[in-house]
Structure 1
Amino acid sequence: MLSVGIISVDGFGLIISGLSAANISFYVQTGAEIHWRQAHWFHRDAASIKTLLTGLTGLVIGEIIFTIAAYVLTPYIYNFVHAGVSVFQYLFAPLFSKYWKWKGSKSDNNPYEQVAIKDWDEESNVPETESMLGLQSPGPAPGQPTKTGTTKKVISIFVASAATYVLTLCVIRPYDAAYDFLSQTVVITPFVKPPTRTLTSSFYLPDLPGDYSWLYNHTAIGPTSKYDWMPVEKTPGFRDWYEGFNGSVPQHYDPNLDPIHLSNLDADIIEPLRETLKDGKIKIKHVFLFKLESTRSDVFPVKKDGHIADIIRKSYSGEIPDEVEDRLANLTRNAEILTGVPSGFDQHDFNPRGGLYASDAYTGGTFTLKSIVASVCGANPLVVDFNREFFHHIYQPCMPHIFNTLNKLSPALPKNSTKSTDSKDFKSWPWRSTMMQSITDDYDNQDRLTPAMGFDDKVTDKTITKDFKKKPGPNPEKYNFWGYEEHKLREYFLDALIQAEKKHERVFLTHLTGQTHHPWKMPIGEEYEALIASGLWNKNDKVNRYLNTIGVNDKWLGEVMDLLNEAGVADETLVVMVGDHGISLLEDGGVTPNDNPHVKNFHVPLVFSHPSLPPITLNNRISSLQILPTILDLLVQSSSLDAPSAKAIQDLLPLYEGQSMIREPVPEAEGKQDWQFTVMNTGGTWLALRSAAKPYRLVVPLVPDVEWRFSDVSSDPIEERTLQSFNLKPLLKDVGNVHGEAAAEWVGEAAHVAQWWVAENWRRWEYLPEN
């Protein structure tokens, strides 16, 4: 690669060296590799370009290093390659000499004259034909040792051995599609169309033992149920009740047809919550859903006996200094209050707000926009690269769709009318859904996804900029290319609540934070504090920057709790907080979950906070897909809806795949497991899954150039001993040897479930892979 990195006349070498520099720069910046086949999917919006430019410095440095190295090494590499080619000529030319002579004699119109045998190259004193072939070099003077002959023998042996080795491997090594991809020219890879996938062959799976007839040739798409409360006119998000795909009969997801669905809606309410709901103490007027950018579970809060504290402790040679421990004690105080989990630093009083905290929750997608779809819509994201959900059929009504439909239901009004705002009972008030973020929504078509999910209003960095221009004084400064710090949203939050009280409306507010996104810049006026000792290669500096922004975000969450009190609705607002994805910075240096299967990119905090709820920690395995069903179930069970709305919710609840978190979980029943899927960033490379019944994780490759990956997180919580293979059968053998046959059987079933589920996922989204 270096040999072609310079001064190629046609510029091909510069392209190769540029791509190589990009690979290295991307790895240094993110800890991940570029998958060039995704280049044709790349979205060219301004936010994406600005994200790429964060690695520009590394790219330039890498290109300079390659150019200098290529300039120095090119002659030596060229001569070495030339010598190897000469050996092949020397070895194989005699085999074809008779053919060449025979072919030459058959030619009647040979334009060349025969070269005389004694036609010598005057400069080298070697016959010109031999000189051109590179088979001989000027001989040594009489009496001198023949070093050239010895060198030729060594090179001949080396080249012949290498060629024999490669040919032998080609014969005896099993075929693997990964080797085909890895042998492609990097310049061509972005333009090569990936292998065609269909609904029956979403990815390759070898023949495995077992009967899976209960799974294949089944689909959960069936005729829609009829509801008497459904508005006559077509309602956004409820297309499946009015028309079908391409004019077909209306169809929708039917859990009764889903071969892997397990419901717990018939199960009892969990014991600590049962009496509270019966007493009618819980009132839910408003619902806030926070998506916490790049927030992993073990920073919410940071615990003294946790993994992060251990890493910090090691950086200080075994003991955290007192001043650093004081900073850590105050870093995530509001996360302690919200989760009901003390940090253990014991520097302050601990008064939990109350609510449900899921200690083992995984995100539905490690790509932020896909994660939002999983939480807001209760639907598994689409298994394709990047945000294409807005372009296809979101197969479940999202929460804004549901609330907008509830607005049309009232016992005192005819269908298709809106609810009255005169009543003092908030249960009959109409809902208003708003998306708020202080950062841009230009990235990868988020501005088109937001209305597709049914939101009435939105606030973004553009809104903030526009509104500040109307005010006297200087405009606020963005803290990085994403946008403003979260504090700039305070007046928008407060105004939404005040206006809702005046207009007798209920607020469903979804908020995406941005401060904790790489490159982890502090808001203007804030300074970094030392939380971890400096280390080599700048890794600890990245950890320190990340933890500092986690602390800034924690202060913002406390500010939100304060403004709920200021608006007088703290006792009537359900606040749900969940990480969009984690970050494996502390384990493998990754600053993005992009194509990174490490478990810390999946494990996120999940909290349902309400002051009238008792503090409850749920230790069962939970997916963010369960957020929507749990919110709806809580609204019904807390009697926070009027009768028509409660009836509609009770009809809709069974249609969602996720189980309700306020009921006893059903991890396994009738030989089926509660499978939980995570569509990995960017969507089309890997799929991760686990089951609520077992502690295992399987990462499934959807393309041939990445590996299968298995781990048991009960014995290996930070995945230091994963098993990986490009082929499933060797992985099954390794899993059986290390973890036992039961684990290997689980992997086999998970692989079949994944293959069926990917094709089913495309069916539900009405995505046609052939197109």
Structure 2
Amino acid sequence: MAITKVGRLTGCLFSLALLGAASSQLGFFYRTGSEFKWTDAQRYARDKDGLGVLLNEVDAALAAGLLVVTVSWFAGESVYRAAGELLAMTGMPILNGSNSSGAWQYRQRRPPWLPEAPPSGFSKWSLKNSTQENAQDTRGGDDRSCHDEQYDGKFYNPVGDPLKITNHDSDILSALKPAFAHGSVRIRHVVLIMLESYREELFPLQQGSDIHRRIARSHGSRDGDDEVNERLSHICPIAEKITGKSGRWKRRDGTSFGQVPTPEWNDTTQHGFGGINVVGSLTTASLSFKSMAAILCGVWPLPVDNFEESEAQSYQPCIPQILHLFNQLKENKSTDDFLEQQWLSAFFQSVTDGYDRQHKFDSEIGFDHIVTRKRLEQDAKEHAILEKINYFGYPETTLRPHIREYIEKALAQRRRMFLSHFTSTTHHPWGVPGAFQSAEYVNTQGPMAWHSDFNSYLNAMRFTDRWLGELLQTFDDYGIADETLLVFVGDHGQAFKEDVASKTGTYQNGHISNFRVPITFRHPRIPRVQYNALATSLSILPTILDLLVSTGSLNGRDAAVASDLIQDYEGQSFIRPYRDTHNGRRAWNFGIVNSGASMLSVTSADAPWRLVMPLDQGSRYRLTDLKSDPLELEPLEKWSLSELASEVESRHGVNASRWAVEAEAVARWWATERKRLWGYKAG
């Protein structure tokens, strides 16, 4: 009898656990169209900040649970689903250029500017890493962690990299030459603003674009009526000024709505100037922190789940680490010559940095000054009450006094600033402060209520656009705008039902709307350039270094270091013509799909095709032609590469089919190579 009771109790508990699991999975699928992996669910549940993400959508799980109970009550029997085995695809072997004499000489090289004890971020040049790249690990199982600090193969060698294409030997763009030659461009400070979930086609929104027509159709019109279009013209006027791309807003009769007032920023930039806007840019990952690592360190992120990059050292030095090296190479003294001044790096974010070890990464790469949710809450105990807008934290405007304090400190100490800022309001659930007046950009009435998420997102973008204007005005107020380079970049995009009805968000979603992001280099003295290239945010760091050197904004020694370092990075420079191909090589782009280990996006700068491929056995191959189908409305999807190649040849031709096969092989090598370079060991 006791055994029977124990058995029944165990059975009940097991059934409740299954009910909870099934309800959560169904609720998640209803909201996003994707299925989550339980390893990812554990990551959220174990993190107090991640738990807020789960609880935010608990209503869908409860509804799914009620449905499961109702169906099971009437069904009366358990239903079992058989699991089929998928053929495992073996990755191609690593192409190793170690036998090349040039590669060997490069490994033995020790840069003359490197201090005797390499500073943080520069350990790749330590004797062990540089001379034992090919040492094989033959010890078998041991107690090493995921990231083996002693592994000898983490050295990145640009000479032996079969994918590397550089344009640093090309001339500077002709549009930029005169300004650089005359010395009219000075870059004393650098500001890097990472825009959460920002889509390129909304930075800025333009009348007549595909996304504008989608909004207009919700109001029953292909192009939108005057009232709707005038309202839409107010979403991102600051972005129009930053990028130099007009929203092209006009009435039906062809007359202009007039300039949208922007009291947040009085832009006095001369016509024809403002900087470089990249058209066609992609992110390296649809997971924020992996994308951030690529932006700040100029490296490809790891194709594994979670932010494992925080547990390892980047295989290239990150921006704050490079600036620390510059500081180390010069005297620490107060001087009016900005070329001899020390750098002060800072990071600002109005939400938590405790999720998935972000705080560890920020500290590891060398930020001198960090302000995030924890600091804001500490100060709020003595000052104003903070208003939460989502489960992660507060609106960006709460950073206002902290950013001003940092600027004043740097100016008083005669130091150069590297200010990095990560926005957050445009993250799900797209909450805005109570005092902010939201508008109905997309019709959300009655049967159109399914547009509500996208409408909330557009309101969050308008709030962020105003905040960007306020930041730009702050630099004007302190008299530093003419000597400040601002870099704007989206961490990733954001898919909605308006893009693909069956799947939303970034999780397990390789749709192009999650990967197109804005990249803009803003400076009031740099001529305006619209730079067309199918490139990624990997090129941001080398472009910053190139700009500092080419504008004479570094002293002789720092310029020599930067000129040497830039050759090591895999990204090209956006102030020189972009090379789509070189000596038979394609300029490949890779994009890790959230959560990291399951799917990978592949493009090349010389071709219109895009492949989303599985890194495990749970996803299908997917190919689109971004030239004929920029919204990816007609993808080809197959469970095997051979089936996909055959179908691609029938629809797009033999060149597309060959490209798909090549892309898959290159990507599998690339994924293996990232793990080597990051020193990643599974388990």
With structure 2 as the length reference, what TM-score do the two structures score?
A: 0.88
Q: What is aligned with 1:374? A: 294
1:228 equivalent among 112, 128, 138: 112
The 3 A distance-change label for structure 1 pair 439 and 678 is same
Query: How many residues are treated as equivalent by the alignment?
Result: 632
Asked if 2 retains the 8 angstrom alpha-carbon contact of 1:243 and 1:250, the reply is no
Asked if 1 retains the 8 angstrom alpha-carbon contact of 2:443 and 2:449, the reply is no
Q: What is aligned with 1:469? A: 381
> SS in structure 2 opposite 1:603?
coil
> SS in structure 1 opposite 2:67?
helix
Q: What is aligned with 1:29? A: 31
Task: Please give the alpha-carbon distance, in whole angstroms, between the structure 2 residues aligned to 1:560 and 1:547.
Answer: 20
2:544 equivalent among 626, 631, 638: 631
Q: What is aligned with 2:483? A: 572
Uncovered stretches (5+) of structure 1, i.e. residues with no partner: 1-5, 86-165, 171-177, 182-194, 196-202, 207-211, 411-417
> Cα distance, 1:453 vs. partner?
1.8
Q: What is aligned with 1:310? A: 213
The 3 A distance-change label for structure 1 pair 389 and 321 is same
1:338 equivalent among 219, 225, 242: 242
Deviation string for 1:468-495 (max 9, x for gaps)?
A: 2223xx5222222211111111222222
Deviation string for 1:257-303 (max 9, x for gaps)?
A: 10111110001111111111111111111111111001111111011
Task: Please give the alpha-carbon distance, in whole angstroms, between the structure 1 residues aligned to 2:412 and 2:45.
Answer: 42
> Cα distance, 1:18 vs. partner?
2.4
Q: What is aligned with 2:354? A: 442
The 3 A distance-change label for structure 1 pair 446 and 248 is closer
Asked if 1 retains the 8 angstrom alpha-carbon contact of 2:153 and 2:677, the reply is no
- After superposition, where does 1:280-359 map in structure 2 within 5 Å? 280-318=183-221, 320-345=224-249, 346-349=256-259, 354-359=274-279
Q: What is aligned with 1:550? A: 461
> Cα distance, 1:759 vs. partner?
1.1
Task: Please give the alpha-carbon distance, in whole angstroms, between the structure 2 residues aligned to 1:462 and 1:38.
Answer: 25
Asked if 2 retains the 8 angstrom alpha-carbon contact of 1:241 and 1:251, the reply is no
> Cα distance, 1:591 vs. partner?
4.5
1:514 aligns to 2:398 (yes or no): no
Task: Please give the alpha-carbon distance, in whole angstroms, between the structure 1 residues aligned to 2:401 and 2:473.
Answer: 12
Task: Please give the alpha-carbon distance, in whole angstroms, between the structure 1 residues aligned to 2:95 and 2:389.
Answer: 51
> Cα distance, 1:243 vs. partner?
4.9
- After superposition, where does 1:138-153 map in structure 2 within 5 Å? none
Deviation string for 1:608-663 (max 9, x for gaps)?
A: 00000111111121110000000000000000001110011011000000000100
| Structure 2 residue identity aligned to 1:237 | G
Task: Please give the alpha-carbon distance, in whole angstroms, between the structure 1 residues aligned to 2:247 and 2:273.
Answer: 15
Q: What is aligned with 1:588? A: 500
Deviation string for 1:349-379 (max 9, x for gaps)?
A: 4967611111100001110000000100000
1:392 equivalent among 291, 309, 312: 312
Q: What is aligned with 1:277? A: 180
> SS in structure 2 opposite 1:610?
strand
> Cα distance, 1:247 vs. partner?
5.6
> SS in structure 1 opposite 2:64?
helix
Asked if 1 retains the 8 angstrom alpha-carbon contact of 2:586 and 2:604, the reply is yes
- After superposition, where does 1:675-686 map in structure 2 within 5 Å? 675-686=588-599
Asked if 2 retains the 8 angstrom alpha-carbon contact of 1:240 and 1:250, the reply is no
Asked if 2 retains the 8 angstrom alpha-carbon contact of 1:698 and 1:711, the reply is yes
Asked if 1 retains the 8 angstrom alpha-carbon contact of 2:44 and 2:53, the reply is no
Q: What is aligned with 2:141? A: none
Task: Please give the alpha-carbon distance, in whole angstroms, between the structure 2 residues aligned to 1:296 and 1:686.
Answer: 20
Which of structures 1 and 2 has the larger relative contact order (alpha carbons within 8 angstroms, sep 6+)? 2
Asked if 1 retains the 8 angstrom alpha-carbon contact of 2:189 and 2:484, the reply is yes
> Cα distance, 1:524 vs. partner?
2.4
Task: Please give the alpha-carbon distance, in whole angstroms, between the structure 1 residues aligned to 2:52 and 2:448.
Answer: 25
> SS in structure 2 opposite 1:612?
strand
Task: Please give the alpha-carbon distance, in whole angstroms, between the structure 1 residues aligned to 2:480 and 2:457.
Answer: 32
Q: What is aligned with 2:144? A: none
Asked if 2 retains the 8 angstrom alpha-carbon contact of 1:244 and 1:251, the reply is no
> Cα distance, 1:426 vs. partner?
0.8
> Cα distance, 1:42 vs. partner?
5.2
1:672 aligns to 2:585 (yes or no): yes
Asked if 2 retains the 8 angstrom alpha-carbon contact of 1:295 and 1:579, the reply is yes
Asked if 2 retains the 8 angstrom alpha-carbon contact of 1:43 and 1:444, the reply is no
The 3 A distance-change label for structure 1 pair 432 and 425 is same
Task: Please give the alpha-carbon distance, in whole angstroms, between the structure 2 residues aligned to 1:293 and 1:388.
Answer: 20
Task: Please give the alpha-carbon distance, in whole angstroms, between the structure 1 residues aligned to 2:42 and 2:215.
Answer: 41
The 3 A distance-change label for structure 1 pair 726 and 434 is same
Task: Please give the alpha-carbon distance, in whole angstroms, between the structure 2 residues aligned to 1:56 and 1:301.
Answer: 34
> Cα distance, 1:34 vs. partner?
1.4
The 3 A distance-change label for structure 1 pair 379 and 65 is same
Q: What is aligned with 1:495? A: 405
1:204 equivalent among 84, 89, 98: 89
The 3 A distance-change label for structure 1 pair 524 and 716 is same
Asked if 1 retains the 8 angstrom alpha-carbon contact of 2:213 and 2:224, the reply is no
1:259 aligns to 2:162 (yes or no): yes
Q: What is aligned with 1:613? A: 526
Asked if 2 retains the 8 angstrom alpha-carbon contact of 1:224 and 1:240, the reply is no
> Cα distance, 1:680 vs. partner?
1.6
1:65 aligns to 2:67 (yes or no): yes
Q: What is aligned with 2:325? A: 405
Deviation string for 1:80-115 (max 9, x for gaps)?
A: x9xxx9xxxxxxxxxxxxxxxxxxxxxxxxxxxxxx
Q: What is aligned with 2:140? A: none
The 3 A distance-change label for structure 1 pair 561 and 224 is farther
Asked if 1 retains the 8 angstrom alpha-carbon contact of 2:95 and 2:162, the reply is no
Asked if 1 retains the 8 angstrom alpha-carbon contact of 2:242 and 2:522, the reply is yes
> SS in structure 1 opposite 2:176?
helix
Uncovered stretches (5+) of structure 2, i.e. residues with no partner: 1-7, 130-148, 250-255, 261-270
The 3 A distance-change label for structure 1 pair 352 and 67 is farther
Deviation string for 1:31-80 (max 9, x for gaps)?
A: 32212354565561111111111121111121122212222332xx58xx
> Cα distance, 1:240 vs. partner?
1.6
> Cα distance, 1:749 vs. partner?
1.0
The 3 A distance-change label for structure 1 pair 529 and 232 is same
Asked if 2 retains the 8 angstrom alpha-carbon contact of 1:576 and 1:609, the reply is yes
The 3 A distance-change label for structure 1 pair 56 and 543 is same
Q: What is aligned with 2:121? A: 237
Deviation string for 1:162-212 (max 9, x for gaps)?
A: xxxx9xxx9xxxxxxx8337xxxxxxxxxxxxx9xxxxxxx7149xxxxx9
> Cα distance, 1:527 vs. partner?
2.7
> SS in structure 1 opposite 2:84?
helix
The 3 A distance-change label for structure 1 pair 309 and 352 is farther
Computing the radius of gyration over CA atoms, which structure comes out larger, 1 or 2? 1
Q: What is aligned with 1:46? A: 48
Q: Percent identity?
A: 33
Task: Please give the alpha-carbon distance, in whole angstroms, between the structure 2 residues aligned to 1:600 and 1:234.
Answer: 41
Superposed CA RMSD: 2.5
> SS in structure 2 opposite 1:644?
helix
The 3 A distance-change label for structure 1 pair 224 and 520 is farther
1:180 aligns to 2:85 (yes or no): yes
> Cα distance, 1:336 vs. partner?
0.2
1:762 equivalent among 661, 675, 678: 675
> Cα distance, 1:498 vs. partner?
1.7
| Structure 1 residue identity aligned to 2:95 | Y
